[in-house]
Amino acid sequence: MSMAISFLSDFGLDDEFVGVVHGVLGRLAPASRVIDVTHGVARGDVRAGSLALLRAVQYLPQGVVLGVVDPGVGTDRLPIAIETEFGFFVGPDNGLLSPAVAVVGGASRAVVIDNPEVRIPSRGATFDGRDVFAPAAALLASGGAKFEDLGSPIDPAVLTPQLLPLPEVSEGSVSGEAWWVDRFGNVETNVSPEDLAAAGIAEGDRVVVTVGSQSREAPWVRAYGDVDEGLPLLHVDSYGMIALAVRSGRADQFFGLGEGTAVRFVKD
């Protein structure tokens, strides 16, 4: 029984990189379903890739997660595979996989993919997605290799973490940051509804949102439809985090927010 493979990268779709990885998966795991999580991660943006995987993982079929956002390809960063209760995670040891691994319960075992027999021989050293990670993912999914056959064991505790910023909660205010702007301009923050509650801010309140020197007001509502067209709102987004939106508009522009921008919420 073949496992599903869920594949995320920063390869984009203009070139054939994604297709070639699918080709390798199709050759080595012909019975596996392959799901493209997204290939639109900004070039080399490991943190954005790790957050996308974190948001997606609980909705993916159990099996293998193949993540390739790998600005360090061709350096000494390690290619790794991680065993969890959810299944296997394969990719570079740069923090890309860490938040998703943590959310599914953590790693039970890890290996460095250094067994030359599970790699595709290649003259170049720039496409480990094709030559190292895809074969490892496919062999795990198809049962063509055992986890421990991929290479040398490594202590999961020494794998590179992804340090995600925590919000600061005080009486009446929470300071956090924007950590995802989607293609609609909606802005997810690292602030949870519990953080706002701890500061005394509740659904239904009006909230002052401060970005840099600019403050704007928005109500905390349940959904876009609770405000008029063109107006801003705070809400709990589909991943359970506090997000800023503008109904039929772009909150990133309205509030002046990009990924990583600091944002402060104060009860009005």
Chain positions contacting its own copies, by CB under 8 A: 4, 6, 8, 11-20, 22-24, 26-27, 30, 33, 35-40, 43-44, 52, 55-56, 59-61, 71-76, 122-127, 130-131, 182-184, 186, 193, 222-226, 235-240, 243, 245, 248
Q: Which is nearer to its own copies, 71 or 200 (CB)?
A: 71
Under 8 Å between Cβ of 213 and 160 = no
Q: Which is nearer to its own copies, 172 or 240 (CB)?
A: 240
**Which structure tokens are listed for 117?**
């027999």
CB of 21 to its own copies, least distance (A): 8
- Mapped onto helix, strand or coil, the DSSP state of residue 227 is coil
**Which structure tokens are listed for 185?**
């301009």
CA distance linking residue 25 with residue 141, whole number of Å:
9
Q: Which is nearer to its own copies, 156 or 178 (CB)?
A: 178
Query: E strand or H helix at 168, and its extent?
Result: strand 168-170
CB of 47 to its own copies, least distance (A): 14
Q: Which is nearer to its own copies, 20 or 109 (CB)?
A: 20
CB of 183 to its own copies, least distance (A): 5
Q: Do strands 214-219 and 232-236 pair parallel, antiparallel, or not at all (unpaired)?
A: unpaired
CB of 50 to its own copies, least distance (A): 12
**67, 64, 65, 63: which is closest to 46 by C-alpha?**
67
